[in-house]
Structure 1
Amino acid sequence: MRVLAALSGGVDSAVAAARAVDAGHDVVGVHMALSRSRAQHRNGSRGCCSIEDASDARRAADVLGIPYYVWDLSEEFEDTVVADFLSEYAAGRTPNPCVRCNQHIKFDALLDRGLALGFDAVATGHYARIVDVPDAEGGARRELHRAEDAAKDQSYVLAVMGADRLARSMFPLGDAASKDEVRAEAAERGLSVSVKPDSYDICFVADGDTQGFLRERLGAAPGEVVDADGDVVGEHDGAYAYTVGQRRGLGLNRPAADGKPRYVLEVDPAANRVVVGPSELLSVTEISAGEVTWLAEDVPAGEWTEVSVQVRAHGDPVPARVLLQDGRLFTELASPLRGIAPGQSIVVYQGSRVLGQGNIVKAGRGAALSRA
């Protein structure tokens, strides 16, 4: 197959491309330039897609002996991932930009361009597995599964890709036992990125100051911080800088009557108000989600299904049951979860298999969510 290998400049994508070459595919490397600042430099382990990353990707391609190109996707990235990030926070929700980047950039813009140029698939350094399961008609059903290495599993941020994108994707690192194994393999192949630190945090907020980034882009918008009874207990510079479950940086004028810590319970952008309260009010047992991407056509809609769900990229899965109905995903948790914020992704699993995902719209307790 003709395979387009996404080279980020890190060790994972380099080894993934190398494994695609070893498998006999005709591989071409491409680095996605996502920053509008061509002079952007990497800040330690923070950020990605910098000028250093592009150089590292080129060196990896040279070692592998594959053609290498840089594609400028900065406009698409700004108009989709960054714009979505800002609009979601402005609306009082908590987005995951890595999910949006995989959806709009790596498996929309990149794959679509690759297919238009005659490539058959895109290979990335994500830690996840693709399993082809034979069906009754003699064909195969393609499934997305967790990676062999649970500590590095990235299936959570890939669930949004959809069945059509999954059919054109390759994740050569899905069966890697550990990140140490991948680094050792990179060193054996002579790839200098074998010792490069992993990037973390939000790539376009390289200094890690998310609140500062939001304030710079959205501007100051002073308002009140109130308790669950509506009493004013503090002030804020912008409700968008708060997220459900947050404890630190609340800037409260006085402690709670019982002396216990208070947490953000709700962000109300319409009233420009942040509601805080005790931790017990954060616990929810029901979640409803929209913008559903469902990968499991063999799992019938309209019926409750026993599953596990994950609501954070590095969170633990919890037992639950879900109902897919009229394009919405309803979840009843076997035990309460805390700090569930609108805008987060909820990903549904059966064992290691990803069934689908949705964007959380509302969370509550008991019969708080209507399925009408």
Structure 2
Amino acid sequence: MDVFTMTGRKRETYDVQMVYSSLWECALGIAAVTNSRLIDTLEKPYSYWKEVKESLSEELVNQLEYVETNNTWKALLQLLHYTKNENIEAFTTHVQSLDNVRLKFLCLPFVGDRFQDVREKAAYGDERAITALKEITKENPFFPQYIEFISKSEPTELKTHLIKVMTGWYRSVVAPELEATEQILRTDYESKKEMKAKVSAEELVQWATGGIQYLPEPSVHRVLLIPQFVYRPWTIEADIEGTKVFYYPVANESIAPHDNYMPSQSLVLKHKALGDEVRLRMVKLLSECERSLQELTDQLDLGKSTIHHHLKLLRAAKIVETNQGKYSLNRNGLELLSAELEQYVNR
């Protein structure tokens, strides 16, 4: 269907803001060590996590087991969005100052502006609201159980647990490496801040997160980018009022800030992917229109296994994407290449 538009407005987008803190690293470290299903996929090997756990006090290990059972790492992340991320003492003071209902309200997940009253009633312990909130979030693998737990937990016990696990992990794991960790986070923050002046908001999000194309959506006016080292290579996505949050993995060059010759992994992957005649031909073909594997095979007169191998490299570099069996060019990913190269050369 042909559409004739008479609007003169540009499509609205979101504002990107960035923040970093060792407290985010602390909460995400707790999330990582208690995620038994994901821990083998993290960049830090299982032996690292095993060694860390063996070095902890019995009390802290018990608190971590409580986190794993009840997913209270989510509560820590939620609360940090309403805390001045100055230091662990500020976090403790803030949690202690919250009244019972406010504590539970902040810990419960945000699921949209129109459900804020349901969220508040659930914080008061209203059974119908709790059931409704669980139904709204039923597609999430852990939200319903987590909502039940938060809504019915004893506030003083919940506060004590959150403070103990956060301060315990911070002092045992984060504090000994604090200077190095903050340097990594600060370096990545400065890198993203510099790139923000060169690219669009959507391109910045895609570059920072390693390829996530987040398009503007109603009621979301801000994207918050939070660098993290402990949960690499994963990006964690979350929602708070009016804001989409991405806890994204810091770039390789941020880990070695004194090495001005260290390129980003994204830059390396893209140049490797484009450094081949067949793959460049594929990029040209996909710039014309989306194509199936069979169509690319016919056009290039190569075997399907060979074409599939080249497509795998292009997809890993975020230059090509797939949807319902069709391959297409990720133009944003390709257009970012010049900005990434310029930033690397001028760093």
- What TM-score bracket applies, with the shorter chain setting the length? under 0.3
Question: 1 or 2, which has the higher helix percentage?
Answer: 2
Question: 1 or 2, which has the higher strand percentage?
Answer: 1
Higher normalized contact order (CA 8 Å, seq sep 6+, divided by chain length):
2
Under a length normalisation based on structure 1, what TM-score does the superposition of the two structures give? 0.24
